[in-house]
Structure 1
Amino acid sequence: MMYRISPFLRRFALALLCGIGLATLWANLWPAGYYDFIEWRIADPNLPDWIWAGTVTLTPFMVVTDMLMALFFFFIGKELWEALVLERGSLSGRRAGLPLGLSIGGMIGAAAAWLTLSALIETAEEAVPGGGWTVPLGSDTVLIYLFARMAFGRGHPALHLTILMAISTDILALLVLGLSNPNLSVRLVWLALPLLAAVVVGRLFGRRPSVDATERRRLRGQRLWPYLLAGAVSWFGTAASGMPASLGLLPIIPAIARAERSFGLFAEAEGLLNDPLNRLTRAIMWPLTAILFLFGLIRGGVDLLAFAPTTAVTLGALWIGRPLGLALAALVLISLFGNRLPRRVGWRHLAVIAPLMAIGFSVPAVAIGAALPGGAMAEAARAGLVLSLLAGPAALLLARILKV
């Protein structure tokens, strides 16, 4: 049974699209004002080298991408964690094989297509041979959900499978992005800070009170401030280590006291649960709407004159590489290893899921800054990400043709 999905997910998608649309208009009608806005120097904190490598400049670009978007990845990371560990979780036990396998297959296909097309058609002077392959690994959970709901309806198992794949793709892509950073060094020792924060807060506050626990013990288990403090420490340690700062809140998710069973991905019924993990998630729902609008505004401004071979490479990786990788993974997992599709999900549904997963914006937009040189090449890649959103309407047309 698939429970009703929270209406916030649709609001997130619309807020992101509005930000992208406004940013593109702004970047083309008044480019100087747009780039002055996203690069505005708010402050220049002076941190010792042993804490932070290089100079730190707070700009709207950094605040939104590295700080505020950590809340969004906490939001989807929470859903992935619950799917893995809770009773009846969507990825518990053997259920994890197919969605994770399809996600990994799509990521491999996207990376392979990027490398192949880069070698064949890339002309940018700043391009590095074999570089940039992490850009198309991720997808966009909220935008994929928006189009998948229109394609399958809100209660269909194919919608559930699509969301699972989008979440796992985004989290895995961020992890690969962090681990493939060539600048990683001894600074990785800072990752001990998130680990320590998670262990301490988990042992002191994250255990569920026993049935015969005192009222004081129960109240202590419902406090939120220890998790907020642990989250701040975890974010700082992750950022200082050189890993993507947007991953900074993920380490504390397993340490937060949670419900005993899952109601499904982004289930509206979880709004009635009073465990700390669901209370924290509810607290950031409305702020996330504004954050995703700002992310679209900061990252979505596309110069219509920025089209270049990098744009074609980006689109080819997402529109050709990911669907092909997904299709090959499906053939291997289902035909050779005997994995079964969920009930009421067939090959026609997978044919629609493939172009849906070719949508890439939020995580690839984060990856551009770390994987590509700045300037024209990054702008051309960003144009490809925005154009990839056209895969959504294409998937809806295919769904109508196939009558899924």
Structure 2
Amino acid sequence: MSGQQEKRGLVRKLIDNSFLLIAGAVSALIWANVHTSSYQAFINFDLLSLFHHAPSAGHETAAEAHSHGFTLHFFVNDIVMALFFAIAAKEVWESLLPGGSLANPKKAATPLLATVGGILGPAIVYIAGTYFTGTHDSLGRGWAIPCATDIAFSYLIARFIFGASHPAIAFLLLLAIADDAAGLIILAVFYPQAEIRPEWLLLTVGAVLLTMQLRRSKVHSHWAYLIGPGIISWFSFYQANIHPALGLVPIIPFMPHAHTDLGFYARAERGRHDTLNEFEHFWKLPVEFGLGLFGLANAGVVMSSLGTGTWVVLAGLLIGKPVGITLLTLFAEKALKLEKPAGMDYRHVVTLGMIAGIGFTVALFVSVAAFTTAGMEQDSVKMGALLSFAAAPIAVIVAKLLGIRPLPLVNVDTPKIAKAA
């Protein structure tokens, strides 16, 4: 029995540490390079055809399936990922509550400025790269792709390099939370699906008001909020041409929630039963499986797609991230007289800046949002997002060269969800 429990524990640990996302991405890469046409037919498959009884429903072309709108790709990127971003928004919101990492301005100031560097640095390097290579007209729209940091993978690599109890871990997590918030804003403002139709946002206001009314009526079940105001808000984003994956974000702060934050990976949070935490507890595992589908539906890039887009994304992540984070931390300390956490020096700042260069999940998502039409541009920047895993071994080498040794490990939780922005 203990052996079965150990196996179940190992499986759950793998799931919590984004194994499904990696497996989906690797499977997509292999499939797309072995049989591109069947992979494209798979992601463009019309899910509504499953409910059709016409004999030809299973033999539609990819273009015909896509014209129906409700493809597997749409289901994953616009509906499943709405739950992913809702949980990301929940973490950002709670970090602003008393006890949260963003609640104390003095404590958060330096990492927040480092976050600005982690966004400006990659964007500047990316844009400069497109101008230098004469590809700004075709690739310039993707400037936000290297601004992302994959929080789960970055956290795992940081624990390996620094040890779980090092102050650099808290610095990185706080930076990543702020990066999440900035990523949500960037997606909403800079990557509309078409011309913004602001009149539809009145439905968003209505969804928020309905959420507040449900809360005043002491409705506890998260299903009431998800099926009612959640669907209304999602639909309003869809109709307004703002990416519907962000559609649940507006109602998150108004759902019944705890009034304090216990910390980003606090085990005690599992015992909280407010509506917002129960929402996360229920959807955490399904979203991990959804992220596996996300990897499968988005990472299918043929190797011949390596190109200028790949290199400018990688330059933004592997050069712009660590340089931007380091320079803005230096500015915060020297010009603004702010402080780094005790126990951190610039060896740690440079190293965590490199760790933050792992873009992957949200970088891949932004790639599709920036380049909505499949083709060489989209595939080349996707490849850059996937290859950003190179930041992990580079960070390990940088840490070795700088003489960084991990502090003794302590018992901390595994990531609650593989999120990043």
Alignment of 1:17-56 (within 5 A): 17-43=22-48
Task: Give the conservation status (yes or no) of the 8 Å contact 1:174–1:244.
Answer: no
Structure 2 distance, partners of 1:185, 1:382, is 24
Structure 1 distance, partners of 2:139, 2:376, is 17
Q: Which residue of 1 aligns with 2:404?
A: 403
Task: Give the conservation status (yes or no) of the 8 Å contact 2:15–2:288.
Answer: no
Structure 2 distance, partners of 1:221, 1:11, is 30
1:213-264 CA-to-partner distances (Å, cap 9, x unmatched) read xxxx7xx342333311211111111122111111111111110111121110
> Per the alignment, in what secondary structure is the counterpart of residue 259 of structure 1?
coil
Alignment of 1:151-300 (within 5 A): 151-181=161-191, 185=195, 187-202=197-212, 204-206=213-215, 220-228=218-226, 229-300=228-299
Task: Give the conservation status (yes or no) of the 8 Å contact 1:122–1:309.
Answer: no
Alignment of 1:2-401 (within 5 A): 11-43=16-48, 57-84=69-96, 86-94=97-105, 95-123=107-135, 127-128=137-138, 130-181=140-191, 185=195, 187-202=197-212, 204-206=213-215, 220-228=218-226, 229-372=228-371, 373-401=373-401
**Aligned-residue CA RMSD (Å):** 2.4
Structure 2 distance, partners of 1:281, 1:16, is 18
Q: Which residue of 2 aligns with 1:48?
A: none
Structure 2 distance, partners of 1:194, 1:182, is 16
Q: Structure 1 residue 383: deviation in Å?
A: 1.0
Q: Structure 1 residue 375: deviation in Å?
A: 0.3
Letter in 1 for 2:179: T
Q: Structure 1 residue 55: deviation in Å?
A: 6.8
Q: Structure 1 residue 360: deviation in Å?
A: 1.0
Question: Equivalent pairs: percent with the same residue?
Answer: 32
Structure 2 distance, partners of 1:20, 1:185, is 31
Which segments of 5 or more consecutive residues in structure 1 lack a partner in the other structure? 1-6, 45-53, 208-216
Change (3 A) 1:195 1:284: same
Structure 1 distance, partners of 2:345, 2:14, is 25
Letter in 2 for 1:17: I
> Per the alignment, in what secondary structure is the counterpart of residue 303 of structure 2?
coil
TM-score normalized with structure 1 length: 0.86
Task: Give the conservation status (yes or no) of the 8 Å contact 2:354–2:394.
Answer: yes
Task: Give the conservation status (yes or no) of the 8 Å contact 2:111–2:329.
Answer: no
Structure 2 distance, partners of 1:9, 1:99, is 29
1:113-162 CA-to-partner distances (Å, cap 9, x unmatched) read 111100112559xx437432122222222222222222222333322221
The size of the alignment, in residue pairs, is: 375
Q: Which residue of 2 aligns with 1:3?
A: none
Task: Give the conservation status (yes or no) of the 8 Å contact 1:79–1:266.
Answer: no
Structure 2 distance, partners of 1:325, 1:186, is 32
Task: Give the conservation status (yes or no) of the 8 Å contact 1:8–1:285.
Answer: no
1:314-352 CA-to-partner distances (Å, cap 9, x unmatched) read 111111122221122111112111222223333222111
Q: Structure 1 residue 25: deviation in Å?
A: 1.3
Letter in 1 for 2:215: G
Change (3 A) 1:168 1:8: farther
Letter in 2 for 1:24: L
Q: Which residue of 2 aligns with 1:50?
A: none
Structure 2 distance, partners of 1:130, 1:277, is 38
Change (3 A) 1:82 1:397: same
